[in-house]
Amino acid sequence: MAPHRLSYLMTAPYQDIVRSLRQAFPQPVSDRVHDAYFVFSFLRALDQVDRMKSVSPLLGKPETLDYSAAKQCRVADEPSTLESVTEELVEHLSGLFVSGHPRAQVNVVPAPTIPSIIGGMLPSIYNPNLCSDESGRRVSVVEVEVTAMTAELVGYPAEQAGGVFTFGGTGTLLYGAKIGLEKACPGTAQTGLREPAVLICSERAHYACLTVASWLGLGEQNVVKIPTSPENEMRMCLFETMLRDVLQQGRKVAVIVATMGTTDAFGLDDLAAIIEIRDRLRDEFSLDYTPHIHADAVIGWAWSVFNDYDFATNPLGFQPHTVRALAGTARRIKHLGQSDSLGIDFHKTGFAPYVSSLFLLRNAADLQLISRDQSTTPYLFQSGHHHPGKFTLETTRSGSGPMAALANLRLFGKDGLRSLLGHLVMMASELSTHLKAHASTAVLNADNFGAVTLFRVYPDGVDTFSTPKLEQTDASYRDQLKANNAYNRRVFELIHDEALQGRGVVISLTDCYRLSDYGEPIVALKSYIMSPFSEPENVSAVLDSIWRARQIIAQETRQP
């Protein structure tokens, strides 16, 4: 037999490798043995993670992060095994804060529910792309279902509304600003920006406003920031004055951003007043477009479940102070349906895993403003009926976000989400009450109603009744403000170091809760209670960590 014929009969090395690697893929047809292996691989990984749990808010043991060593990693020549890869992946979770732990109170990071985790995982097995229903099939339908459900919830007409899932809260704002820019400056997508246009927001708006202005070519200098009140909401008198100035200067308004739940203090802009002023000035200046209003409601959207809640009869039995707080938020959130578009993060107050962000439009026809010519995509949209890829920024969009969102909307219903939010707000109120009662602490956002508490800690001998106000308003307190800022940073360092060792609580710090009236940043400590497992004893853990930090600082101060 010829040598070349023998070579075909022998097994080539690559064939052995391919045959082995097939075991690491889900089988395309039912194979009960291999399917069981697939499931068991997940169970083994989850069991390894479970062994890392303890009473602390930390997975595994404290870890020192070594990025220099990470830069030395290289791809091996030989394949590895599923088991060894899984074990290494689990090891990378060591030292991670457990978001669902009641002593983990960092920013607005929730515990994902089990159904939402499953919802996020299932598309990963079969990789539907929501660019078009020719790939997404019924997962594409899920995106439409969630859009309709959420539209009705916030007050949009469900049949008229439209929406797409995108890469995060910044993505939802980017979509809103892009559509607004096309309304104000038609043809920008084809010709580029040919005239000045501004983005208007509050001074407490998310920094994503600057990011979007930069990426759209508006320029960060064309972000008009409206001063805010002590309640962290846009001052309407100044909004009208500054909007009028913009229009008198002949500049276009690409988008007005109403912040419906600031990241730090949960401040809520008066959306109804913003819309009224927008409409009045549009008519006064005879504008040939209506400035687009985008509600940045990535946190606050969830309170829409209270739009039809009867606070008077209070059927869920919330405590009176909780009812007051929930109603205080609902009075602003109920106007979301009047906005032109809004952003929703299910991975925040929707208790879904990252990333699950929905850009929602009151009028789906506005999506045509950012639609691309189909001739630019000759290899797409050859079958099916639903093609979001014609107008989305992304060509590749995972089905995990919509599936996770649908899972929780079905799981919770309105009463489930109402109950969770009510519980978190009650726990935050409990913490706020304790902090207000102590001589060395002051709550900064007492007039806001969310699950977040901003506070400052002071050394002994400081009058916490008058000092916070003087720090805000009196320039002669500049040096004392700076000293107290440093003190709070040290408190945070000590609490954070303790948390990294698996003790105490995990909280956040903001370098600038707001500027003082004389231009100095005010540092604040931040507790964001998002765990459904939170109870009053976990509030006490925050206080205990503060007192331990104060004691250490007092000892440091006494040392020569």
Q: What is the pTM of this model?
A: 0.94
Listed by start position, the domains of the chain span 22-96, 161-386, 420-558
Cα(201)–Cα(243) distance, integer angstroms: 10
Of 336, 212, 191, which is closest to residue 270 (Cα–Cα)?
Answer: 336
pLDDT at 382: 80
Fold of 161-386: Aspartate Aminotransferase; domain 2 (3.40.640)
Beta strands in 5-90 (DSSP E): none
Say what angle helices 114-126 and 400-437 make with each other, to 10 degrees.
150
Percent of the chain with pLDDT strictly greater than 90? 88
In the numeric block, the tokens 């985790």 are attached to 117
161-386 matches 420-558 in fold: no
Cα(159)–Cα(364) distance, integer angstroms: 9
Structure-token pair, residue 426: 């009650």
404 three-class SS: helix
What string of DSSP letters covers 79-123?
Answer: ---HHHHHHHHHHTTTT-B-TTSTTB--TT-PPPPHHHHHHHHHH
* Residue 238: φ, ψ to 5°: -75, -35
Cα(167)–Cα(270) distance, integer angstroms: 27
Cα(406)–Cα(228) distance, integer angstroms: 36
Task: Find residue 274's DSSP bridge partners.
Answer: none
Structure-token pair, residue 223: 């972000």
pLDDT at 263: 81
Q: Looking at the domain that runs over 420-558, which CATH code has it been given?
A: 3.90.1150.10
Of 500, 510, 495, 481, which is closest to residue 544 (Cα–Cα)?
Answer: 495
pLDDT at 373: 83
Asked whether 442 and 551 are in contact (CB, 8 A), the reply is: no
pLDDT at 503: 87
Asked whether 338 and 437 are in contact (CB, 8 A), the reply is: no
pLDDT at 115: 97
pLDDT at 72: 97
For β-strands 162-166 and 357-361, DSSP reports them as: antiparallel
Of 154, 256, 246, 171, which is closest to residue 205 (Cα–Cα)?
Answer: 256
pLDDT at 5: 53
pLDDT in tens, the chain (560 residues): 555 555 555 689 999 999 999 999 999 999 999 999 999 999 999 999 999 998 889 899 888 899 999 999 999 999 999 999 999 999 999 999 999 999 999 888 999 999 999 999 999 999 999 999 999 999 999 999 999 999 999 999 999 999 999 999 999 999 999 999 999 999 999 999 999 999 999 999 999 999 999 999 999 999 999 999 988 999 999 999 999 999 999 999 999 999 999 888 899 999 999 999 999 999 999 999 999 999 999 999 999 999 999 999 999 999 999 999 999 999 999 999 999 999 999 999 999 999 999 999 999 999 999 998 887 887 788 888 889 989 999 999 999 999 999 999 999 999 999 999 999 999 999 999 999 999 999 999 988 889 999 999 999 999 999 999 999 999 999 999 999 999 999 999 999 999 888 889 999 999 999 999 999 999 999 999 999 999 998 888 999 999 999 999 999 888 66
